[in-house]
């Protein structure tokens, strides 16, 4: 059954990927463009396809997959339905790391500094949160800590941008806080995708342990899943996947929050099976939102996080209301 879910979601992602390549600001004959690209002819169509449309679609899918899979992993590990890289401040901290790496010239002299900066920020935030979770902090405590981390990271990002030497830096805060895939290139794909892939592998490896964790921490330990190791895998995986995503696309919120809840009934509420399905659904949501921002006739283009927040924030409120019902 779950494999059918994964196949179905995979198909949706594929369709949206193709739609994302087809949607753009200038008319493009896709067939001819692919022909030119494969034949190595340097036509303008092939250039638009290879340097603008494809990187955007690839990053949309990969960033969405990263957010979806890490949202599912954090929710499973913290056993907290409100956990999401955006809500708990992991994305914000990643943005801070990437901003420092980018605007102060580190990434100009050493390209990998950009994803590594994002990775370090994300790792620091995830570690703090999991340390709190390990001490037995409840749902509310964790979310509040996440809100504090988010605000702190946001404020430090704004400070860093204001201190940055470029006169444009301060105006670019909205990119880092809301996220966008506009005008990304294959360079960004090459920088971020390897880190994301490593992150996915690490997180997927925690699947069986997350299943065991539903029986409680002691039961999981006795089943042969040392919690320390699981936590390290989730920290490492989240840091790599979210850190690299945010470094190239900014902090796109709410994908990791919404998607696991939508997919959970489809996989029989097994956190392990949820991971891959959640990743695919995250990719679908992000690709869909990125198509929407290009179809809405605004200039400059709407930030991607605006669309995901329009979907995600009401959903978050709905979850809170339902959670309250359960607790009381």
**Total number of residues binding another protein (CB under 8 A)?**
40
Residue whose CB is less far from another protein, 73 or 99: 99
Is 185 a residue that touches another protein (CB under 8 A)? yes
Q: Is 144 in the site for another protein (CB under 8 A)?
A: no
Contact region for another protein (CB under 8 A) — 135-143, 162-170, 212-220, 319-327?
162-170
Binding segment (CB under 8 A) for another protein, from list 59-67, 135-143, 165-173, 222-230: 165-173
Residue of 38, 135, 136, 168 interacting with another protein (CB under 8 A): 168
139 binds another protein, rule: CB under 8 A: no
Shortest distance, position 310 Cβ to another protein, whole Å: 23
The stretch among 67-75, 82-90, 134-142, 170-178 that binds another protein (CB under 8 A) is 170-178
Residue closer to another protein (CB basis): 230 or 302: 302
Q: Which stretch binds another protein (CB under 8 A): 25-33, 67-75, 132-140, 230-238?
A: 25-33
**What number of CA atoms fall less than 13 Å from residue 283's CA on the CB side?**
29
Stretch 298-327 residues interacting with another protein (CB under 8 A): 299-301
Is position 26 an interface residue for another protein (rule: CB under 8 A)?
Answer: yes
Smallest separation, CB 216 to another protein (Å)? 46
- Subset of 106-125 contacting another protein (CB under 8 A): 107-108
Of positions 4, 42, 224, 297, contacts another protein by CB under 8 A: 42
The answer to whether 297 contacts another protein (rule: CB under 8 A) is no
Cα 267 to Cα 12, 202, 272: the distances in Å are 17, 20, 9
> Whose Cβ is closer to another protein: residue 175's or residue 200's?
175
- What SS3 string covers the chain? CHHHHHHHHHHHHHHHHHHHHHCCCCCCCHHHHHHHHHHCCCCHHHHHHHHHHHHHHHHHHHHHHHHHHHHHHHHHHHCCCCCCCCCCCHHHHHHHHHHHHHHCCHHHHCCCHHHHHHHHHHHHHHHHHHHHHHCCCCHHHHHHHHHHHHHHHHHHHHHHHHHCCCCCHHHHHHHHHHCCCCCCCHHHHHHHHHHHHHHHHHHHCCHHHHHHHCCCHHHHHHCCCCHHHHHHHHHHHHHHHHHHHHHHHCCCCCHHHHHHHHHHHHHCCCHHHHHHHHHHHHHHHHHHHHHHHHHCCCCCCCCHHHHHHHHHHHHHHHHHHHHHHHHC
Catalog residues that contact another protein under the rule CB under 8 A.
Answer: 24-29, 32, 36, 41-45, 47-48, 51-53, 102-105, 107-108, 164-169, 171-172, 175, 183, 185-187, 299-301
């Amino acid at each position: 059954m779950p494999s059918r879910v994964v196949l179905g979601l995979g198909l949706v992602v594929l369709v949206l990927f193709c739609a994302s390549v087809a949607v753009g600001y200038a008319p493009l004959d896709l067939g001819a463009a692919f022909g030119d690209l494969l034949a190595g002819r340097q036509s303008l169509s092939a250039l638009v396809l290879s340097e603008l449309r494809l990187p955007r679609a690839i990053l949309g899918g990969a960033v969405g997959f990263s957010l979806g899979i890490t949202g599912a992993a954090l929710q499973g590990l913290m056993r907290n339905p409100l956990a999401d890289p955006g809500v708990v401040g992991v994305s914000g901290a990643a943005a801070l790391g990437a901003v420092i790496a980018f605007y102060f010239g580190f990434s100009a002299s050493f390209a990998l500094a950009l994803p590594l900066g994002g990775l370090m920020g994300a790792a620091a935030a995830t570690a703090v949160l999991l340390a709190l979770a390990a001490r037995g902090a409840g749902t509310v405590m964790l979310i509040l800590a996440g809100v504090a981390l988010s605000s702190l990271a946001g404020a430090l990002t704004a400070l860093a941008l204001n201190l940055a030497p470029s006169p444009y830096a301060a105006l670019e805060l909205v990119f880092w806080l809301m996220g966008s895939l506009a005008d990304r290139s294959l360079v960004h794909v090459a920088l971020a995708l390897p880190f994301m892939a490593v992150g996915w592998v690490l997180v997927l490896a925690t699947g069986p342990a997350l299943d065991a964790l539903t029986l409680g921490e002691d039961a999981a330990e006795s089943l042969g899943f040392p919690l320390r190791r699981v936590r390290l895998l989730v920290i490492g995986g989240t840091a790599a996947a979210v850190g690299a995503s945010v470094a190239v696309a900014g902090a796109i919120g709410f994908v990791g929050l919404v998607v696991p809840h939508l997919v959970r009934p489809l996989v029989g509420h097994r956190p392990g099976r949820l991971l891959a399905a959640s990743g695919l659904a995250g990719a679908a949501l992000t690709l869909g939102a990125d198509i929407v921002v290009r179809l809405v006739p605004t200039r400059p283009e709407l930030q991607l996080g605006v669309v995901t927040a329009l979907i995600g924030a009401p959903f978050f409120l709905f979850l809170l209301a339902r959670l309250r019902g359960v607790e009381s």
